[in-house]
Amino acid sequence: MSAFEVIIYEKQDGVAYITLNRPKALNAYSVKMRDELYEVLGAIKDDPGVRVVILKGAGEKAFCAGADLTEFLTAPSPVIARQARFERDIWGRFLSIEQPVIAALHGYVLGSGLEMALCCDIRLASEDARFGLPEPGLGIIPAAGGSQTLPRVIGRAAALEILLSGRWLTAPEALKLKLVNRVVPRAELYPEAEKLAEKIKSHPPAAVRAVKQAVTRGLDLPLAEGLELEERLARRLIAHE
């Protein structure tokens, strides 16, 4: 069981569940949440007992409604509030996890909430999910990776339209743009995530990790280097076996 205050961490049969747990504040991303996520992601990274991770939000209304506006863009200053977030590279930590991470998204998926989802490998959404990056409307830009991850996932024009217009997407629109892999009724969101986790877990863990590395690291490389990476990983896997 969890010893954290604003997240819940559970582990069952090789699946790690991280639940953002501030439902009264729509799971807004606070400094406390940052610290707890940093700790738990570090533990997951080093835990061979974790084969797949599922990230979700508590409560009916939101996965995460973005940065906690009561501590962000307020005292002592926006610059210091932002600096506090840069002190721990939570996004780098998300991206460094070798196990596949599934985001199960419902309700509001805004700002840092969407940026967190973009750091995950597979995104499942329920029909009520709404996606948006309100930062430019607040006079700032996304700084949890969103300006880089969003265009890499949905392409430059679609990302710029969302960022510049501030328009929120419905779940079907998000699906059409390939921002999410699949949209399911709300009641089926977690069973669907678990079914997928079970499927992934049924494969040898070293192969699963190698596939994730080949795709995620390879995407940042020119094709020739990506192919070299694939070959190295394939050889390492054979040696491992």
| Residues annotated as catalytic (active site), given as ranges | 115, 135
Listed ranges 66-74, 188-196, 199-207, 226-234: which one lies at the site for ligand COA (CB under 6 A) = 66-74
Indicate which single residue of 16, 26, 119, 120 sits in contact with ligand COA (rule: CB under 6 A).
26
| Residue 30 vs 99, nearer CB to ligand COA | 30
| Residue 52 vs 150, nearer CB to ligand COA | 150
SS3 of the chain: CCCCCCEEEEEECCEEEEEECCHHHCCCECHHHHHHHHHHHHHHHCCCCCCEEEEEECCCCEEECCECCCCCCCCCCHHHHHHHHHCCCHHHHHHHCCCCEEEEECEEEECHHHHHHHCCCEEEEECCCEEECCHHHHCCCCCCCHHHHHHHHHCHHHHHHHHHHCCCEEHHHHHHCCCCCEEECHHHHHHHHHHHHHHHHCCCHHHHHHHHHHHHHHCCCCHHHHHHHHHHHHHHHHHHC
Listed ranges 11-19, 65-73, 87-95, 158-166: which one lies at the site for ligand COA (CB under 6 A) = 65-73
109: contact with ligand COA by CB under 6 A:
no
| Residue 20 vs 184, nearer CB to ligand COA | 20
Total residues contacting ligand COA (rule CB under 6 A)?
15
Listed ranges 20-28, 151-159, 191-199, 228-236: which one lies at the site for ligand COA (CB under 6 A) = 20-28
Indicate which single residue of 43, 48, 70, 221 sits in contact with ligand COA (rule: CB under 6 A).
70
